[in-house]
Structure 1
């Protein structure tokens, strides 16, 4: 048997209801707060951590080492996807989201209190790495739950736009993190690199309280309540995903990877290039914040279009735009000049990433049935974050050191991944495409019921 959309609790018929507005606010604000925490680290790894935790390695290797700890957090995200996906598929999306937020807030505050290598020696970078890993696990459980809370409550013809609230929370959190860091560079001046950078991390405690107040007021999704009503339980959702939905996982990963490659090149590696070239940190961070605001706007616009033309078509277009712009944007970023970097981050992060960000959440969610959707969507999406965002700053930093064609190699890497994403979005057709995206049981599971 399969569970239809008519089984169990009623799905929302409009996005303009009190309950639906709370759900969308929960997805947006929750994601914004968790990605505020996560992106604080990304920015600090570009301009602060190399000096405080890896200074003994020399300027070039210190940046690579800081980016390596950044990558570790991204590689922990799939683990978080599996862990929180397991509990989200068995015990509820809402419970998993609350736990992930509490863990993330606690770890971020701990990073803000971390002593430096000069104070406690080699223990400092080791502790920093451990905290980054836990941070990665926590944020790995956030996206899947936030997206599903929106998708599984929304009417069918508005799922792309509803799910975009979870994705738009990411750049919104990046805006907040960047602006707070930028403000601290002004208010604390030379003291920014000693204690000023810590203040944004400590402020996370207040944001977590606000996020929990919103998140605790929303109801569990109709899809999960329907599974509960049918007494349906998967002991190990990850096993079912890897056994029956490997193609969907690979498709989710390969389409999503272009988002994170773009983000890593223009907002992480690009920041380090501009700062290393002597550009003012405050100005660089302000442009990063401006680009993230544009990302939010383009994300919602692209999501709305995707509800009309289909998520696959919208994604294919966004990935092709990214591939076409990769080479010129890489040379703008690689110049190290603030004006050229501003153009690159507005077009790359603001436009190209936003075009893909809009439809990606609804697309990835549609690849999996409800009983394993949290796990499957999280593995694919967070796997892309590990490979795309986690490795790219390190790869780009290494490629530009090659004696011949450094920036050309970075452009080829970026454009190549975007073309692969476009091809998968255009041609991969999952078996669950024709089934209801919110509450359908997996075919293999239904056959055994």
Structure 2
């Protein structure tokens, strides 16, 4: 089933939808990233309390990993529902789920208050966060793209992507603010404030999403009864090449990001002996620059096509991988910040156009499912990248060469999949014609 031109959508409506998608994804990532910070600062001591600090930290990070493991489940559930009952309804459900789960974490009693129930309930709430995030991004991108004029899909599909670095900045800033409290106040109530802030933010996100109209393409499918009876199964059985290619094109933007942030923070502090504040500043500067790259990348997709921009970003990442790590290895503060920022900027180019590319791989009746599954397959694989980089670091005797080669390998996968993607685009001829007409 190929996509046919739907009702005319104005730029004003497309901007409203894209902004609603951005706010929702920013809230989702804010909530999701909060847990990671709290796992290392709070949960290991207050919820997974043992006499062994290492065991407590491992348990806290295990609960953190549950969120990643649950994301494909969210992709399956909300991919099916999004292609059956509508994109808008599912996005209201996902943003409500993660907002409520995050707020409940903020009021959850600790281990000393309710014993073993505390870590169990905390892990269950993290599971709900993962399910919600797994269904969020695919729907947000799909809704933004299907509301956008064909010749400007790239810029509007990039809007949900901006939610990730914004969520990173907000969550880091929130914990930085409460970390100035005295230790006793921080442990008793201070750490809860960033989680409780999710509730008023949830109200804003739901209000914005309720104002957005359903996708005109979905309404047309509903009117003509062209929905798939089992979209997830159909994607897995008939569109698995697109699924794998889509996951490959998204791998660098997610897996590479975790390598240059999560792994590099550990590498910089534990191996190089750099101060933690310097590595955090480098990450925050990189996230700020990433926002600009995502905006520019979306416009490049409109002009040159998402696949070409993906290949360009992957090749650029290959070229800067070693220079970037050499700057970090120099241990000079300015060079460290520049190295992290440079690599992040290049690998963010494929991430900027990931939404535009993935939505072109799947027809409308399978789009929510296909996009969500592709992104979350990549996300699960990316969750193991810091672990793999750490193992390679140990294998190489503390040298950054092998982790750098891992980054290059990830970039090569994205480059190859980006080159292969256009032959699977379901609407490339119509979109190409629209671009030609506008230029």
Please report the TM-score for the alignment, with normalisation by the length of structure 2: 0.88
Q: Per the alignment, in what secondary structure is the counterpart of residue 148 of structure 2?
A: coil
Unaligned runs of 5+ in 2: 432-439
Q: Per the alignment, in what secondary structure is the counterpart of residue 247 of structure 1?
A: helix
1:359 maps to which residue? 353
Counterpart check, 1:316 vs 2:311: yes
1:105 maps to which residue? 99
2:147 maps to which residue? 153
Q: Deviations over 1:141-160 (max 9, x none)?
A: 11111111110011111001
Unaligned runs of 5+ in 1: 438-449
Q: Is the 8 A contact 1:31 1:143 kept in 2?
A: yes
Structure-1 separation of matches of 2:137 and 2:80: 14
Report which stretch shifted further, 76-85 or 194-203. Answer: 194-203
Counterpart check, 1:212 vs 2:190: no
1:404 maps to which residue? 397
Structure-1 separation of matches of 2:180 and 2:333: 18
Structure-1 separation of matches of 2:388 and 2:415: 22
Structure-1 separation of matches of 2:426 and 2:20: 27
* Distance apart, 1:373 and its partner CA: 0.2
Structure-2 separation of matches of 1:353 and 1:330: 14
Matching residue within 297, 306, 330 for 2:301: 306
* Distance apart, 1:270 and its partner CA: 3.2
Q: Is the 8 A contact 1:42 1:268 kept in 2?
A: no
Q: Is the 8 A contact 1:175 1:290 kept in 2?
A: no
Q: Deviations over 1:371-419 (max 9, x none)?
A: 010001100011111111x212333344434473553332222221111
Counterpart check, 1:381 vs 2:375: yes
Summarize the alignment of residues 220-231 of structure 1 with structure 2, pairs less than 5 Å apart.
220-231=214-225
Structure-2 separation of matches of 1:56 and 1:335: 39
1:197 maps to which residue? 191
* Distance apart, 1:162 and its partner CA: 0.7
Q: Deviations over 1:102-124 (max 9, x none)?
A: 10011111222334445555544
Counterpart check, 1:236 vs 2:236: no
Structure-2 separation of matches of 1:322 and 1:123: 45
1:166 maps to which residue? 160
1:263 maps to which residue? 257
Structure-2 separation of matches of 1:114 and 1:68: 18
* Distance apart, 1:48 and its partner CA: 4.0
Q: Per the alignment, in what secondary structure is the counterpart of residue 8 of structure 2?
A: coil
Inter-CA distance 317–60: structure 2 relative to 1 (3 Å threshold) = farther
Counterpart check, 1:75 vs 2:72: no
Structure-2 separation of matches of 1:141 and 1:352: 27
Report which stretch shifted further, 128-137 or 396-405. Answer: 396-405
1:37 maps to which residue? 31
* Distance apart, 1:218 and its partner CA: 0.7
Inter-CA distance 431–162: structure 2 relative to 1 (3 Å threshold) = closer
Counterpart check, 1:279 vs 2:272: no
1:11 maps to which residue? 8
Q: Per the alignment, in what secondary structure is the counterpart of residue 219 of structure 1?
A: coil
Q: Deviations over 1:295-320 (max 9, x none)?
A: 11110101101211111110011112
Structure-2 separation of matches of 1:375 and 1:204: 27
* Distance apart, 1:291 and its partner CA: 2.2
Inter-CA distance 430–134: structure 2 relative to 1 (3 Å threshold) = same
Q: Per the alignment, in what secondary structure is the counterpart of residue 375 of structure 1?
A: helix
Q: Per the alignment, in what secondary structure is the counterpart of residue 143 of structure 1?
A: helix
2:437 maps to which residue? none
Where is the helix percentage greater, Structure 1 or Structure 2?
2
Structure-2 separation of matches of 1:75 and 1:190: 33
Please report the TM-score for the alignment, with normalisation by the length of structure 1: 0.86
Structure-1 separation of matches of 2:51 and 2:392: 19
Matching residue within 393, 413, 420 for 2:413: 420
Q: Is the 8 A contact 2:76 2:232 kept in 1?
A: yes
2:121 maps to which residue? 127
Inter-CA distance 129–273: structure 2 relative to 1 (3 Å threshold) = farther
Q: Is the 8 A contact 1:298 1:355 kept in 2?
A: yes
* Distance apart, 1:329 and its partner CA: 3.8
Structure-1 separation of matches of 2:286 and 2:184: 26
* Distance apart, 1:264 and its partner CA: 1.2
